[in-house]
Chain A
Amino acid sequence: MGTIRTIRTIISGLSLVLLPFTARAEWTVNLSPGVTEVSRSVYDLHMTIFWICVAIGCVVFGVMFWSIFHHRKSKGAKAHHFHEHTLVEIAWTLVPLGILVAMAVPATATLVKMYDPSEADLDIQITGYQWKWRYTYLDKDLDFFSNLATPREQIGNEEAKGDNYLLEVDRHLVLPTDTKIRLLLTANDVIHSWWVPALAVKKDAIPGFINEAWTRIDEPGIYRGQCAELCGQDHGFMPIVVEAVPPEQFQQWLAQVKAEKQAEAAAAEKSWTLDELMTQGEQVYLRACAACHQPTGTGVPPAFPALKGSPVALGDVGAHIDIVLNGRPGTAMQAFRDQLSATELAAVITYERNAWGNSTGEAVAPSQITRILEGNAETAGEGAQ
């Protein structure tokens, strides 16, 4: 009776262990097969080597456990003492060598495929910033930043977390499917790493270096990734969202984005009220500034100074604009002139001068910023000093 109960316990235990295999489709512990030819070959390679390891494990542990059981002391087994056995030593050198060579052949084939960015139809420069990505569509006159879109309330546990918590951005990297795309990776400040598992692309973005990678996406869809190189405080808050669309739709999207950009330039020329600027300024502030200066404007001194009651936000507006546009060298304060539009810059500066009890009552007009940006572009040589 005791034996039957033991067997039953073992069977029910085993079924618990084996249960996950029956639901492997929903099982997300394993590597993703992804949506590109390279990602599938990486997945196949991973599975091949995984099963080789399983087989080695079974043989090695099988022999070991069998030996322990079969040659146990209670059966009177005596250890056989010997110093060397050249034949066995040769065997245990040659067998692993053979296995390694067998693994190296498919691994090399996959690596060679991965490292061939030639003959791409579209070039995209990806620049890592603390803590956001910048995407430049080369020869397409398109360039934008992609910021985390998860609300601060979710991060602070004041709201329930969404489905794509910390994996959502304000602007997706839109890419055409069935097109060979070359990715040129670099960084503006520290080392980042651009990683999208579904594309099997994970490449360091290093300041002063340009690394190459490529992809050809087979299926339209949204693929999410993260920065994979510890890059500072908000390393976990600079996700990547790739949106793959069919080529025709990609062309439409390009045209649409260009039209929006023109509309935005036109909007900068109209006259804005203080209230309009404040409303937009708050959104821009939360997206671009709040990570360091905090949503309440109190900052985290001394690294990230408070804006509430600060001499910059309450003092000369020209100096304030200069710091936001050009940053402050030697500190974490970045230059936002390329990151935000003229309207966004005007709105956020207005917001900083009128929020949290800062009450200068001053509104900075987007057209004023446009003129400064245009003026600086002409005298860029002087501005660099």
Chain B
Amino acid sequence: MRDNSILRCWRALLGVLAGFFGVRSEAAREQDFKEGRALHFVVIGLLMAAGFVIFVIFLVRWALSLSGV
């Protein structure tokens, strides 16, 4: 039971990653809709969006520090 929910979260993570990238095969998409839980996708999606914003902030800081500002 516990293993199953970890597996589900892992699959949701992959699904969200694929969504960020913009490519997902039809088979994997169907499996997401059949077996996945909406809540997992929403929570992981929000976390990864926040993570992306933080990544961009650090990217800009790094670029500015490289150019000596």
Flag if B64 contacts A93 (CB, 8 Å).
no
Taking the complex as formed, is B23 at the interface, i.e. its CB lies under 8 A from any CB of chain A? yes
Flag if B23 contacts A86 (CB, 8 Å).
yes
Q: Which of A90, A109, A113 contacts B23 (CB 8 A)?
A: A90
Flag if B23 contacts A89 (CB, 8 Å).
yes
Cα–Cα, bound, A108→B65 (Å): 12
Least distance between B50 CB and chain A CB atoms (Å): 21
Cα–Cα, bound, A83→B23 (Å): 13
Taking the complex as formed, is A116 at the interface, i.e. its CB lies under 8 A from any CB of chain B? yes
Flag if A112 contacts B64 (CB, 8 Å).
yes
Flag if B23 contacts A93 (CB, 8 Å).
yes
Taking the complex as formed, is B26 at the interface, i.e. its CB lies under 8 A from any CB of chain A? yes
Q: Which of B22, B26, B67, B69 contacts A93 (CB 8 A)?
A: B22
Flag if A109 contacts B67 (CB, 8 Å).
yes
Taking the complex as formed, is B25 at the interface, i.e. its CB lies under 8 A from any CB of chain A? yes
Cα–Cα, bound, A313→B69 (Å): 58
Cα–Cα, bound, A116→B69 (Å): 8
Taking the complex as formed, is B46 at the interface, i.e. its CB lies under 8 A from any CB of chain A? no
Contacts of A113 in B (CB 8 A): 67
Give the residue name and chain of the A residue nearest to B29 (CB): A84
Contacts of A89 in B (CB 8 A): 22-23
Give the residue name and chain of the B residue nearest to A88 (CB): B23
Flag if B67 contacts A112 (CB, 8 Å).
yes
Task: For the complex, count residues of B whose C-beta is within 8 A of A.
Answer: 9
Least distance between B60 CB and chain A CB atoms (Å): 9
Flag if A84 contacts B26 (CB, 8 Å).
yes
Taking the complex as formed, is B33 at the interface, i.e. its CB lies under 8 A from any CB of chain A? no
Contacts of A112 in B (CB 8 A): 63-64, 67, 69
Contacting residues of chain A (78-116) with chain B, CB-CB under 8 angstroms: 83-84, 86, 89-90, 93, 108-109, 112-113, 116
Least distance between B32 CB and chain A CB atoms (Å): 15
Contacts of B67 in A (CB 8 A): 108-109, 112-113
Contacting residues of chain B (4-54) with chain A, CB-CB under 8 angstroms: 21-23, 25-26
Interface range for A: 10 to 19
Cα–Cα, bound, A93→B25 (Å): 14
Least distance between A87 CB and chain B CB atoms (Å): 9
Least distance between B28 CB and chain A CB atoms (Å): 9
Contacts of B25 in A (CB 8 A): 84, 86
Contacts of B21 in A (CB 8 A): 90, 93
- Chain A window 2-35, contacts with chain B (Cβ cutoff 8 Å), 1 for yes, 0 for no: 0000000000000000000000000000000000
Contacting residues of chain A (346-367) with chain B, CB-CB under 8 angstroms: none
Contacts of A108 in B (CB 8 A): 63, 67
Contacts of A83 in B (CB 8 A): 26
Cα–Cα, bound, A108→B23 (Å): 28
Least distance between A28 CB and chain B CB atoms (Å): 32
Least distance between A85 CB and chain B CB atoms (Å): 9
Contacts of B23 in A (CB 8 A): 86, 89-90, 93
Least distance between B65 CB and chain A CB atoms (Å): 11
Give the residue name and chain of the B residue nearest to A85 (CB): B25
Cα–Cα, bound, A86→B21 (Å): 12
Contacts of B22 in A (CB 8 A): 89, 93
Cα–Cα, bound, A113→B69 (Å): 9
Least distance between A133 CB and chain B CB atoms (Å): 30
Cα–Cα, bound, A112→B63 (Å): 9
Give the residue name and chain of the A residue nearest to B26 (CB): A84
Cα–Cα, bound, A93→B69 (Å): 32
Give the residue name and chain of the A residue nearest to B68 (CB): A112
Give the residue name and chain of the B residue nearest to A116 (CB): B69
Cα–Cα, bound, A116→B68 (Å): 11
Can you name 15 A-B pairs with beta carbons within 8 Å?
Answer: A83-B26, A84-B25, A84-B26, A86-B23, A86-B25, A89-B22, A90-B23, A93-B21, A93-B22, A93-B23, A108-B63, A108-B67, A109-B67, A112-B63, A113-B67
Interface residues of A (CB under 8 A from B): 83-84, 86, 89-90, 93, 108-109, 112-113, 116
Interface residues of B (CB under 8 A from A): 21-23, 25-26, 63-64, 67, 69
